[in-house]
Structure 1
């Protein structure tokens, strides 16, 4: 097979723009990859090449998925690559949009958390206890929490996606594969820059710029930035006219330096900064229309919703430093990679009441109270991670043996906070998860070597040892105060006025400012009502302007309340409810027995070994056969701590790591079909997915039974009992299928690319698991343990297809090019329950529906490059026919919340380079 070992990270801006149109003529951005160009030094030699040689170079697709520069047709495995120019041409705005272009890849945004799934392997556990199963990298740096990474999606050379476990090279938590966003690097000896403006629907505005600054013959800097704004993709059909979720106010900056004092030493440093201050992601809760029996397919636009409370507020800052030092020792290179990253994710919202449907306002009656419900939640995460990696790399041309060996150290320190406030409630005033210390340490040592038996046959062996340790300290709390007025007719002390206010305008949680983490302040082993109230108030920095809960408890736990109580109405008096002389209700204000405060203290300590073996053989210079076996692991974890009421002991049950073993055989081929240069690749794969972790909601009694190994009584969940999120190794799965991809270089500079995937993904050997779509303390007869053997894994459409058509042609004053790309996804499920209603299998309730129908998407782009390429104008449309589908869903006792793919976006951009 042909092999090109070229360093393409220092591609200068002006060359990129000049050749942007030509790139599209030789394999546009879809499927097995896109074009990656050579370095500045390589381009300087182009004048000595023939036109045929130049074309051949442009056709090559160079990737670094195995941490070496390699032609993708020489890669004995499955990978995809996209150039930054090609992504922009189709209007792809961030990493989540790429999933429509790669079969088997699913990238969703779940309340600001980027979730990556590759061929059915991934994770939706976005808490501090969870880890991704597909590793995301920015400029080669592992990103443990990829929130806010979309705003780093500018001035990029390419995006690479490697499919299958990457245990020996990419390492930590890469059981599904890896995604690497690779920016352009500085070019020594060249002054160049670019400026670009973009306008589109939803009042979209983007300004992007980059500047390459050569200081001298050994040092260069590069600065780049982006500012993006657009209005919300949601529309408030209610009277409040709020700006709702998915508006953007984003800023991204990147500073880089490259120092090469001689041929042996290279020092690269970078700093990137991203800030997102839009309105985040709330999704749309379908619970109301589904509960009324309304067909969700009749809801015309899922983003037409009734807003309440206030506009969502997001403030995410994600920044980081990287240092890369490479020193050539002769036959080997020594490379050090160090990085520091900091993510602060802060999001507050009140979810919309309902999507729009006929009669929605009648269903929400009394409407004024529903609109004025400030029940809010806040996510707050601070993740600081440090990576040190030392690698030894052989010279590719030194001998028949090429190898990489290294040590990898990862350290993450997290603070996490999640809280809710139940406005207008009588029994529930909120919950809080406050974890000031969640620490993760990971150590790995690895080696990976390829030996060339002959010019045609190579064997690769890889081995990696990993040790992960995670600890956590914090507190979980549930607040339930029984608040109500006395009804003299029934004797019910809570017969009315279940409307204590909390969370209105001006309300602020204390968040990380909490000072009390152990509610038992006097150390007597019990939490008194006064200690409970002190703990609750310590978690609130400021009550809202119209809150009443603070006044009700102003004098502690009392019978009768305090000075500020909801007023009696005429109907209350008529109905026989007791009112005070001042016109307010007398309140019964006990602390509910269903309150809980649990101090958290968890520990896991995992160690495991990953390995791979691969044999590859060139039938000739254009045909490669290969077979490989590779393994990967995702770290285990622990559950929230809870107390055993019979023993008084606190428990934090653990779960073990997941593992995947991939078996794959394939072939890559280049040949002429008549006079048409053709590429045709295929592979068959089988993933043995072991000890898969599922997360469910259980009552404490059920969790205790499950942890002890005893048979679980589904009725061990009394109304009002404490419910916990419980993760456990629940099942094995078999994932297998075949992938085909190819390219035709047709006459008139027309290119046609395609990829097809057949994917099967079946759950096997499952434990019976609790149906988490029902809450154990509300519907214990439904929240029972069920078999999911034979169910299909979520996010695994059986058949998937992508194709693109592109062309370039001269028009005298410049060149014109276009690309049309399409993707098809078969129907799929988004949860492990596959929409099954175990109680009504023949007439399933719509609330349990997690299916997504098959659909097509079409993207299109057209560009004009004037003269020598300094000026370029582009038009694009992403999701041309506005096919909006559910990308993620949350189904619980009271929710059917759905997050959607991006609606149709279109626009124009103008770029000038020099």
Structure 2
């Protein structure tokens, strides 16, 4: 193992050395050709706010992938799901409505209950606390920034491995503006996006943006219910900008997100084959795969297990996600300092239904409910003078009231069948009249629900300074204090009154609504708790300008993932990260070639795993709790290239080389087999995964894109653009030892052809994405009864988009 590790890390170090030598050679060539190349079209300056102020991307001493509006259009970015295709070191998975982003060997496998994403998501400077808020559709977006590495100093909580900044267009005083985008894609996906910007006075302007999405499902359901992944969304944003003087401005935004349709799962979208040993018993070491359905109530039916993006369900897997947010940003220029205030209120809720037995048999439904009321206030004060010291200091406060719960309800029947032949050829009568005959002894009726409420109060105080030792050298240091107070209570719900009768809206044949609205909830005894978490994070580093076009930087930084409270009142500690990075940012060949690369080493500690326990005294069944269980080390190299080699050409490329492994880590064995040979591999009841690669950590990813703009004279331009992506294999579950969760290496290729009118007011785009139609596992987990569950990324897509910009 050590030889393999050293070889991998040697390759990464060799890549760094090669990049440094290439940089020196290209720099020399650039100097020699600078007087000869006078007609070269230069790369535009991309402005970012990664360091809480507006800077050029090339002046920021951290790894940032930044996409402006043109790049967002070029890469077909409609939400977070395609970010990985053009961001080295980033991988994307999902389950239900939760985004499962991974950055540089850190993953977001645990986002249910009081667990957070490893990457903070910020919309117009406001943090969104739940992973389900990260997967909303993008519209009227000005810029997306993906910050890689811990951002604990300026961003605070839950930027353990990085952050994603989404900046929307604000109202402008520059004049009337409007635009319309219409799209039609595979699976009957119809989209519209419209914006209107209108100055009201010389000081006040307003902007309105509206988006609609409608589609059939991309996961085919051969059962009696509808397809999964249907969209039915109506989203809008109203913003106003007021600038009464040269020293003060205010931006008010109100955004409403309404996503309906059908969910691609709660814990997953579909069942996967389970690993079995030579005796036919489920075993994480098993080399054979069993595609039978082990879920209670399924009677072993073939539910399309092992056939990606195909299921056989009887439940309408409805989704209802809603979010309303109001954000007020105030800016003052007070001569020597500038002051920024960002205030926000967010009301978010998510309700998902799902087929509990993963089969076409009726009577078993899962429910997930989530709601957040969040108030945030951030105050930033920055220096605004010509001195050698630039600093930013500030305070952050938030109050989050979070509720979430999982429920299941299993009826006797609301339909009837005669006989059914299971996967082993046995015939069963499923229903006799209205009574379920249960050949496997699982029982014909059950209900279960837990709803946990958590109040979170967060306080942050931060300072970061940059001191210019000389014209070339700048030293950077920052520190942040973060404190979180959490209080939790858990309620247990039942569908029956104390006399055993069903509550209103509930019967043995089903529910007329959802458990959260119909069941009788009581606070569970001994299942409450409170905890205070505090931590100091820091950053040190330097930027050194080699010349006007090349910067060398190095930094060390720390971050953390919030500690949390389980539904039984127990707690788990904060997860912590420490990262060291050395990189260069360069522009060569008369500003036509941009080469940015970085070498990094990360250490993640107190990583959280999940364990199944059986509380007593409240009538509930087993619950899952989180606990700290290990650490991991990551070493890697990343590079991004943007190049305009000649008039009308543009080329981009990205490379990630990564070696990640657990130092120590353990997970619960999700499968039945637990004989003497297994016990030797268990520590404290957990499978030992020391030395294993964490999920979503491919050793190599590579992207390449190229386009050429053909000039058609007075008929406009036409631009074909080809984008290619390769990923090495990776695991999709923390239990990274069983065969059906492994995602093999794959490629994806996109093709776009765009026509633009001469005045660029009208454009037409024809595109195809994932030409290979790769079936890529997004995330895997094992539920009860050894049911392996998974979700796949989007299959091949194609369509057209028409844009008009006044």
Using the size of structure 1 for normalisation, the TM-score is: 0.73
How far is the alpha carbon of 1:818 from its aligned partner? 2.5
Q: Which residue of 1 aligns with 2:522?
A: 517
Matches within 5 A, 1:760-775: 760-766=659-665, 769-774=667-672
Q: Report deviation, 1:123.
A: 2.7
SS in structure 1 opposite 2:451?
strand
Following superposition, the deviation at residue 512 of structure 1 comes to: 5.2
SS for the counterpart of 1:109 is strand
Mark the CA change 1:300 to 1:791 in structure 2 (over 3 Å): closer, same or farther.
closer
Distance 1:670 1:84, change over 3 A: closer
Distance in 1 separating the partners of 2:182 and 2:38: 35
2: CA distance, partners of 1:913 / 1:288: 49
* 1:628 maps to 2:555: yes
Change (3 A) 1:507 1:114: same
8 A contact 2:754–2:764 mirrored in 1: yes
Q: Deviations over 1:660-705 (max 9, x none)?
A: 0101111222223xx994332321111111111111224559xxxx
Residue 669 (1) aligns with residue 686 (2) = no
Paired residue for 1:888?
Answer: 779
Task: Provide the rounded CA distance (Å) in 2 between the counterparts of 1:882 and 1:227.
Answer: 26
Q: Is the 8 A contact 2:610 2:625 kept in 1?
A: yes
Are the counterparts in 1 of residues 495 and 518 from structure 2 also a CA contact under 8 Å? no
Distance 2:41 2:764 in 1: 24
Aligned-pair CA distance for 1:301: 4.3
C-alpha displacement of 1:457? 0.3
Post-superposition CA distance 1:383-412 (Å, at most 9, x none) = 0111011110122x5221111100000110
Shift of 1:724: 2.9
Is 1:909 the equivalent of 2:801? yes
| Distance in 1, Cα, partners of 2:658 & 2:623 | 34
**Contact kept? 2:107, 2:696, Cα under 8 Å:** no
Corresponding residue number in structure 2 for 1:92 = 77
- Structural mapping, 1:770-785, within 5 Å: 770-774=668-672, 784-785=685-686
Partner residue, 1:403:
391
Structure 1 residues 877 and 693 mapped into 2: Cα distance closer, same or farther (>3 Å)?
same
Larger displacement relative to structure 2 (402-411 or 470-479):
470-479
Q: CA deviation at 1:320?
A: 0.2
- In structure 2, the gaps of 5 or more residues are 1-36, 281-287, 292-303, 413-441, 498-505
Residues 1:319 and 2:324 aligned together:
yes
- TM-score, normalisation: structure 2: 0.82
> Residue 336 of structure 1 aligns with which residue?
341
Contact 1:149 1:274 (C-alpha < 8 Å) held by counterparts: no
- Cα deviation for residue 221 of structure 1 reads 0.4
Superposition deviation, residue 340 in structure 1: 0.5
1:345 equivalent in structure 2? 350
Q: From 873, 876, 879, give the equivalent of 2:770.
A: 879
Counterpart position of 1:434: 451
Given the superposition, is the C-alpha separation of residues 476 and 84 from structure 1 closer, same or farther in structure 2, using an over 3 Å criterion?
farther
Report deviation, 1:312: 1.0
Give the C-alpha shift of residue 381 in structure 1: 1.2
Q: Deviations over 1:697-721 (max 9, x none)?
A: 24559xxxxxxxxxxxxxxxxxx99
Deviation at 1:204, TM superposition (A): 1.1
C-alpha distance in 1 between matches for 2:226 and 2:77: 24
Tell me what 1:260 maps to: 243
Paired position in structure 2 for 1:303: 309
Pick closer, same or farther for the CA change 1:166–1:771 going to 2, 3 Å: same
SS of the aligned residue for 1:747 comes to coil
1:144 alignment counterpart: 129
- Report the Cα offset of residue 723 of structure 1: 2.9
Between the aligned partners of 2:711 and 2:355, the Cα distance in structure 1 is: 54
Residue pairs, 1:396-795, within 5 angstroms:
398-424=386-412, 426=443, 429-435=446-452, 437-476=453-492, 504=509, 506-511=511-516, 516-518=521-523, 598=525, 600-641=527-568, 652-672=569-589, 677-699=592-614, 722-766=621-665, 769-774=667-672, 784-795=685-696
- Distance change in 2, residues 1:822/1:504 (3 Å): farther
Is contact 1:151-1:250 (8 Å) kept? no
SS in 2 for 1:420: strand
Contact 1:628–1:664, Cα closer than 8 Å, also in 2: yes
Gaps of 5+ in 1: 1-50, 354-369, 482-500, 519-596, 642-651, 702-719, 837-845
Equivalence for 1:380: 369
Say if 1:188 and 1:218, in contact at 8 Å, map to a contact too: yes
- State how far apart, in whole Å, the 1-side matches of 2:327 and 2:620 are: 48
Bigger share in strand: 2
Cα contact 1:698–1:772 (8 A) shared by 2: no
C-alpha separation in 2, matches of 1:818 and 1:394? 46
Q: How does 1:120-131 map to 2 (within 5 A)?
A: 120-131=105-116
Of the structure 1 ranges 799-808 and 452-461, higher mean CA displacement relative to structure 2 is found in 799-808
- Which whole-Å deviations, capped at 9, do the CAs of 1:253-295 have from their partners, x for residues lacking one? 0000000011100100000001111101224443567678558
Change (3 A) 1:754 1:373: same
Which deviations, in whole Å up to 9, do the C-alpha atoms of 1:202-253 show, x marking residues without a partner? 1111111000011011110000011011100111224x2x212101001110
Q: CA deviation at 1:327?
A: 0.5
Q: How does 1:77-116 map to 2 (within 5 A)?
A: 77-116=62-101
Aligned counterparts of 1:72 and 1:666: Cα–Cα separation in 2:
13
Aligned residues: 702
For residue 123 of structure 1, give the secondary structure of its aligned residue in structure 2.
Answer: coil
Structure 1 residues 834 and 108 mapped into 2: Cα distance closer, same or farther (>3 Å)?
closer
1:160 and 2:137 are equivalent in the alignment: no
The alignment status of 1:860 with 2:777, answered yes or no, reads no
